[in-house]
Amino acid sequence: MAIFTTIEEISKYDGQEILLRGWLYNKRSSGKIHFLQIRDGSGFLQGVVVKNQVEEEVFKVCKELTQESSIEVIGIVQKDDRAKSGFELLVKDVKPLTIAEEGYPISLKEHGTDFLMDHRHLWMRTPKQNAILRIRDEINLAIRLFFHERGFILVEPPIITPSSCEGTTELFEIDYFGENAYLSQTGQLYAEAAAMAFGKVYSFGPTFRAEKSKTRKHLNEFWMVEPEMAFVDFEGNLKIQEEMIEYIVQKVLQNKQYELKVLDRDITKLESIKAPFARISYTDAVEMLKKADFEFEWGDDFGAPHETYIAEQFDKPVFITHFPTKMKAFYMQPDPNNSEVVLGADLIAPEGYGEIIGGSERIHDLDLILKKIQEENLPQELYEWYLDLRRYGSVPHSGFGLGLERTVAWICGIEHIRQTIPFARTLNRVYP
């Protein structure tokens, strides 16, 4: 009796007869041999069907199998150093479960991006896309483990919110029983409330921004992890960020070697991601850009070329700290030594991947946060609950937000963020 198993487990069965259930991903045939590319969800494996070693019927069945037909395969596991998985299957028997229609849209030839995105539901079956989403899963788990191991409580902020948290221009508006409501841009303000209840918390969920940006770094729906910590200052905030990034990268290196290989990722670049990271103040970064002949004034926001240039000056992720107060969100704590800048920082990933984290110490003084809300013309009545956090036992606290998809793109070393999420929502796309 063949042992039922999955491709992921195959190294345990070297030389033994196994049964796999999966799909025929691709096929090459000659008169005497079929090479079946089999996938079963857990991995990819080549099966070899040799005419004079199987029943005549089996060889005939293989000839008729179309791409993406579902199959049951029995065969002997054999070591093969040329295979990425290290093994292949010497096939004994193949049973078709369903024969897929002819004309499967995704062939192995090159397709245009729009075509692939239109067929995302099928594209995700292919090895590279599969590897990316498996690495996403690993990063997801690593983030949760990191915070869980350190005593952080997971809290889920609402997705439907009455007001803006991060800025008023990028909101998706919805009709909430005749009232205006918005899809959340960030869970931060709710995480702040939870931090005053639990000390250390994090939220992890989808966030929505109606940004009309069409870049390789922007999605309109993306996932963000947002820790928030009572009694933690600016310095402590950066430390936990460094520690978290190192932890995530190391987990991927430990557990996702095969996937990194499928993506041709240069892993020496990841191996060097160790805390502490580099730091530069916004003001020094501006000087650095000017020296390199960029047209840039103090108070301007960095664009992709600026971020890339700054990142290239360091061989690790770099924090840009102390941004101008005017550029940043209302809740950021001004530097007590210079109120023109805030105790906030962005973390810039290496290799041109840009900002992956934004964070800061929060204003904990009631009068100051009230003043900021008024200056920004935010509707105070909708922030009363947030002001209560400053009225009742306010303490210094800090937090940050890590964009999951940008992190996945960087660790995978892939060109565009749209490949890092199962079904991307971008300026021109809500299908499939």
Nearest-CA neighbor of 302 among 260, 355, 261, 264? 355
**Which one of 355, 372, 387, 388 is in contact with ligand 4AD (CB under 6 A)?**
355
**Least distance to ligand 4AD from the beta carbon of 377, Å?**
19
**Which one of 43, 334, 350, 403 is in contact with ligand 4AD (CB under 6 A)?**
403
Q: What tokens does 335 get?
A: 């530097």
Contact 342, 323 (CB under 8 A): yes
Residues 190-209 as x/- pattern, contact with ligand 4AD by CB under 6 A: -------------------x
Assess 396 for contact with ligand 4AD (CB under 6 A).
no
**Which one of 65, 155, 224, 238 is in contact with ligand 4AD (CB under 6 A)?**
224
Residues 353-392 as x/- pattern, contact with Mg ion by CB under 5 A: -----x----------------------------------
**Which one of 47, 75, 350, 359 is in contact with ligand 4AD (CB under 6 A)?**
359
**Least distance to ligand 4AD from the beta carbon of 188, Å?**
4
Assess 307 for contact with ligand 4AD (CB under 6 A).
no
CB within 8 Å of 32: residues ≥ 6 apart:
50, 51, 52
Decide which of Mg ion, ligand 4AD, none touches 170; Cβ closer than 5 to 8 Å per partner kind: none
**Least distance to ligand 4AD from the beta carbon of 159, Å?**
14
CA distance 103 to 391: 65
**Least distance to Mg ion from the beta carbon of 187, Å?**
15
Assess 403 for contact with Mg ion (CB under 5 A).
no
**Least distance to ligand 4AD from the beta carbon of 220, Å?**
7
Please give the residues from 250 up to 279 whose contact with ligand 4AD meets the rule CB under 6 A: none
Assess 344 for contact with Mg ion (CB under 5 A).
no
Assess 43 for contact with ligand 4AD (CB under 6 A).
no
**Least distance to ligand 4AD from the beta carbon of 351, Å?**
15
Assess 350 for contact with Mg ion (CB under 5 A).
no
Decide which of ligand 4AD, Mg ion, none touches 133; Cβ closer than 5 to 8 Å per partner kind: none
Q: Name the residue nearer to ligand 4AD (CB basis): 43 or 317.
A: 317
**Least distance to ligand 4AD from the beta carbon of 206, Å?**
11
**Which one of 188, 325, 394, 420 is in contact with ligand 4AD (CB under 6 A)?**
188
**Which one of 181, 357, 408, 424 is in contact with ligand 4AD (CB under 6 A)?**
357
Please give the residues from 139 up to 178 whose contact with ligand 4AD meets the rule CB under 6 A: 166
Which is it for the CA torsion 147, 149, 150, 151, positive or negative? Answer: positive
**Least distance to ligand 4AD from the beta carbon of 45, Å?**
34
Assess 242 for contact with ligand 4AD (CB under 6 A).
no
**φ and ψ at 258, to 5 degrees?**
-60, -45
Assess 116 for contact with ligand 4AD (CB under 6 A).
no
Contact 399, 405 (CB under 8 A): no
Q: What tokens does 97 get?
A: 């479960």
**Least distance to ligand 4AD from the beta carbon of 278, Å?**
17
**Which one of 88, 138, 226, 335 is in contact with ligand 4AD (CB under 6 A)?**
226
CA distance 181 to 174: 5
| Strand 173-176 to 344-349 pairing | unpaired
Interaction site with Mg ion (CB under 5 A): 358
